[in-house]
Amino acid sequence: MTETAKPIIQIQNVSKRFGKVTAVDNVSLDINAGEFFVLLGPSGCGKTTLLRMIAGFELPTEGRILIDGQDMAGIPPNKRPVNMVFQSYAVFPHMSVADNVAYGLKIAGVKGGEIKDRVAEALDLVKLGGFGERMPDQMSGGQRQRVALARSLVMRPKVLLLDEPLSALDAKLRAQMQFELSELQEKVGITFVTVTHDQDEALSMACRIGVINKGEVAQLATPSDLYEYPSNRFVADFVGSVNIFEGKLTLDEPDKAAVDCPGVGKIYLNHGVTGPHGADVWIALRPEKIYLHVPGEGKAVKAAAQDAPDGYNFARGKIKGMSYLGDITLFEIELESGARIRVSRPNLSRHDQEDFTWDDKVSMHWRADSPVVLLG
Amino acid sequence: MAEQDWKTSKRTFAAVSLPTLFWVVVFFLVPMAIVWLYSFGENRGLTDIEFSGTLNNYKRATEWLYISIFGKSFAVAALVTLICLIIGFPVAMAITFASEKWRPWLLLGIMLPFWTNLLIRTYALMMLLGTQGFANKGMGALWEGTSWIKTLVGLQPLPTWEPVQLLFNNFAVVFGLVYVHLPFMVLPLYAALDRLDRSLIEASLDLGAGHFRTIMRIVVPLAAPGIIAGVMITLIPALGAYLTPDLMGGTDSQMIANVIERQFKKANDWPFGAALSFLLIYAMFALIAIQSMRKKVPEVR
């Protein structure tokens, strides 16, 4: 992640068209050696096609892909220094676990003794030590995925490609595998490129995320930057939950700005936007950045904020929906204009959910550095 | 689904299955039983057969002449099956990997010959292979063309073209049987290959295997049930082939079905023909038994 990071994969102006459908549209991005890179996007956005082009199963219509500085044009999948973990795992059903893992090594002409050692080492790495003699149909989905992982890692590829690696696992196992994959990646130091449509998965595992929308890179950023500084409405909406208000930029100075959003009112920011005055912009505001006042608290907060008029934004409304999720409670609040706003509130004590009920009139505030102004 | 269980609604089940049962019993089991009884009988006069319980017919079937014809039938059927497999496997693979748009047409192409009567197809093939047939005419034209070119450049012309005897020999029988049975091989192979998870093939390529190795180590083992089904479904009818060796074969090309036919017609020895028929049926039973005993390849959901 440093400035000196060396790109192991360079995707340069790559497009892929299937007939009239453009799956990948002029994508350029670099993936650095040793990082855990995630391609995130909704289904059908072209992320899997991009991954398959790196593996060599699809050929770019335009542009080129370099792996470790070498142009991959004309190099078939079996000659590329990358290995892939397939969504269906693709564990060979007619071979034992050990034979599955040894498959690539045998083809590479590795000696018998070394094959045995490396297979055992790879199986230990994915916590399947001692499972070598089993057949794939005697293993669970999660275990088969580990076999697929071991089978790829044993080849010591420069890059490991993972296609929706956790989509077939149940929620608990998925959360556990997220940690294990990150741990594994740090341990082996191989570059991981993962494709997923699950934002939680992406945020928890990635060093950097490339959000793909309609075949184009919507944003390339670290997980926290992606969440806190989305660069457009698609990313703000796709990654996490968000309130989006349309408005006009009415004040834009170096240290403050205001956006007039019909139905919500003026939203103040404590930084400049550098957008044209009067331009149409969008405000993205995360539900957890909005603080809901318990009855009586609102006035005190407002009074305290009098000294810093631009420091806080206030709003009033009525609770129209509540959903208790255990750790947090989600509120849907209808403002006086009829506009709705989503607020989440952590349940810090065991009685917090009793503070509010339907149709309660409430006030809320959020800091002037919480809203994100989006120009597109 | 309780009301659809045959145990709880026997009447419905009986009503539905009765016509089929009737058909199988009256038109299959009863005639088979009669033939089976004939095989233990003896000729008495021109049309009478006495069910004497003799085993002489089976004893006679062990004579070298008949054993050798059985052996030859097996050899021809095995060769036909092997050729069908060698030709059919790439064809089935090509259909499997053809684009969505082309696949139904290619499958139609495979099945199209079924729409024509076997006899007509066989005669068509004979027209193709005869001494005055298209194959010979085509080769003759090429031969004469070559000869003409040689005279053009001042060389001695080739000797006169002698048509090749393509028909009425063992080659013609094998050729004809392969032609007739190829669809039987291709369709089960296609069914097996079509079910194969493509990512298994990609995984093999990804791990460094070339296409040939991927086919031998991944595709063939996983298509084994289809290969065995194709082999059985080709081998069994080829073993009992009658029309093709009869029309396209030479004097030394007769297969066991031709011998059986002769017993029922020219030789008028029904008991012996029946015994040969049942020996053939037992041989097929044995093949099916061997097939069902093989170890099942475990399949992953």
- Model confidence at A184, pLDDT cuts 50, 70, 90, reads very high
CB contact under 8 A, A137 and B207: no
Does pLDDT of A3 surpass 60? no
Task: Indicate the angle between helix axes B224-239 and B270-293, nearest 10 degrees.
Answer: 170
Nearest to A94 among B202, B203, B221 (CB): B221
Q: pLDDT over 90 for what percent of chain A?
A: 70
As a whole number, mean pLDDT of residues A169-187 equals: 89
Count of CB atoms within 10 A of residue B144's CB? 14
Report the C-alpha gap between A51 and A37 in whole angstroms: 11
Phi, psi at A323, each rounded to 5°: -135, 125
User: Which pLDDT score is estimated for A6?
Assistant: 81
Who wins on pLDDT, B46 or B281?
B281
Nearest to A155 among B207, B300, B301 (CB): B207
Does pLDDT of B177 surpass 50? yes
User: Which pLDDT score is estimated for A298?
Assistant: 73
Report the C-alpha gap between A27 and A212 in whole angstroms: 9
Cross-strand partners of A285: A243
Per residue in B193-215, pLDDT tens?
999 999 999 999 999 999 999 99
Does pLDDT of A303 surpass 80? no
Q: What is the ipTM of this complex?
A: 0.84
Residues of A in contact with B221 (CB under 8 A): 94
Per residue in A113-126, pLDDT tens?
999 999 999 999 99
Q: pLDDT over 70 for what percent of chain B?
A: 96
CB contact under 8 A, A137 and B299: yes
Of A82-96, A220-234, A269-283, A318-332, the one with minimum mean pLDDT is A269-283
Nearest to B206 among A55, A94, A135 (CB): A55
Count of CB atoms within 10 A of residue A216's CB? 17
Query: Which positions ≥6 away from A289 have C-beta within 8 Å?
Result: A366, A367, A370
As a whole number, mean pLDDT of residues B226-235 equals: 94
Report the C-alpha gap between A175 and A203 in whole angstroms: 12
User: Which pLDDT score is estimated for B1?
Assistant: 46
CB contact under 8 A, A136 and B300: yes
Q: Is B276 helix (H, G, I), strand (E, B) or coil?
A: helix
- Model confidence at B15, pLDDT cuts 50, 70, 90, reads confident
Report the C-alpha gap between A239 and A203 in whole angstroms: 9
| B206 lies within 8 A of chain A by CB | yes
A/B interface, count of CB pairs below 8 Å: 75
pTM of structure: 0.82
Phi, psi at A86, each rounded to 5°: -80, 155
Does pLDDT of A1 surpass 50? no
Distance from CA of B212 to the nearest CA of A (A): 12
Q: Are A14 and A63 in contact (CB under 8 A)?
A: yes
User: Which pLDDT score is estimated for B296?
Assistant: 59
Residues of B in contact with A151 (CB under 8 A): 203, 207
Distance from CA of B289 to the nearest CA of A (A): 23
- Model confidence at B131, pLDDT cuts 50, 70, 90, reads confident
CB contact under 8 A, A87 and B199: yes
Residues of A in contact with B209 (CB under 8 A): 78, 103-104, 107
Per-residue exposure over B76-102, b if at least 16 CB sit within 10 Å of its own CB, e if not:
bbebbbebbbeebbebbbebbeeeeee
- Model confidence at A306, pLDDT cuts 50, 70, 90, reads low
CB contact under 8 A, A136 and B299: no
User: Which pLDDT score is estimated for B8?
Assistant: 76
Residues of B in contact with A82 (CB under 8 A): 206
As a whole number, mean pLDDT of residues A67-96 equals: 94
| B71 lies within 8 A of chain A by CB | no
As a whole number, mean pLDDT of residues B13-17 equals: 87
User: Which of A49, A80, A96, A103 should be substituted to probe chain B, the one whose Cβ sees the most B Cβ atoms within 10 Å?
Assistant: A103
* Own/partner long-range contacts of A102-110 (Cβ < 8 Å, ≥24 apart): A102/A154, A103/A151, A103/B204, A103/B207, A103/B209, A103/B217, A104/A151, A104/A154, A104/A155, A104/B207, A104/B208, A104/B209, A105/A154, A105/A155, A107/B207, A107/B208, A107/B209, A107/B213, A108/A155, A108/B208
Residues of B in contact with A136 (CB under 8 A): 298, 300
Distance from CA of B287 to the nearest CA of A (A): 24
Give residue ranges of A with CB < 8 Å to any B CB: 55, 57, 76-79, 82-84, 86-88, 90-94, 103-104, 107-108, 135-137, 144, 148, 151-152, 155
Per-residue exposure over B173-201, b if at least 16 CB sit within 10 Å of its own CB, e if not:
bbbbbbbbbbbbbbbbbbbbbeeebebbb
As a whole number, the mean pLDDT across chain A is 91
User: Which pLDDT score is estimated for A198?
Assistant: 92
Does pLDDT of B2 surpass 60? no
| B221 lies within 8 A of chain A by CB | yes
Does pLDDT of A226 surpass 80? yes
Q: Are B60 and B67 in contact (CB under 8 A)?
A: no
User: Which pLDDT score is estimated for A108?
Assistant: 94
Nearest CA-CA partner of A66 in A25, A107, A14, A140? A14
- Model confidence at B51, pLDDT cuts 50, 70, 90, reads confident
Token reading at A205: 């595992």
Does pLDDT of B128 surpass 70? yes
Residues of B in contact with A84 (CB under 8 A): 202-203, 206
Which residue does chain B place closest to A56, by CA atoms?
B206
User: Which pLDDT score is estimated for A275?
Assistant: 74
Residues of A in contact with B297 (CB under 8 A): 93-94
Per residue in A37-73, pLDDT tens?
999 999 989 999 999 999 999 999 999 999 999 999 9
Distance from CA of A134 to the nearest CA of B (A): 12
Residues of B in contact with A155 (CB under 8 A): 207-208
User: Which of A84, A97, A159, A164 should be substituted to probe chain B, the one whose Cβ sees the most B Cβ atoms within 10 Å?
Assistant: A84
Count of CB atoms within 10 A of residue B37's CB? 14
User: Which pLDDT score is estimated for A125?
Assistant: 93
Of A80-94, A352-366, B3-17, B241-255, the one with minimum mean pLDDT is B3-17
- Model confidence at A4, pLDDT cuts 50, 70, 90, reads low
Residues of B in contact with A135 (CB under 8 A): 298
Q: What is the dihedral of CA B179, B183, B188, B189, to 10 degrees?
A: 60
Q: Is B242 helix (H, G, I), strand (E, B) or coil?
A: coil
Per residue in A359-369, pLDDT tens?
989 989 898 88
User: Which pLDDT score is estimated for A263?
Assistant: 85
DSSP string, A175-229: HHHHHHHHHHHHHH--EEEEEES-HHHHHHH-SEEEEEETTEEEEEE-HHHHHHS
- Model confidence at A253, pLDDT cuts 50, 70, 90, reads confident
Q: Is B289 helix (H, G, I), strand (E, B) or coil?
A: helix
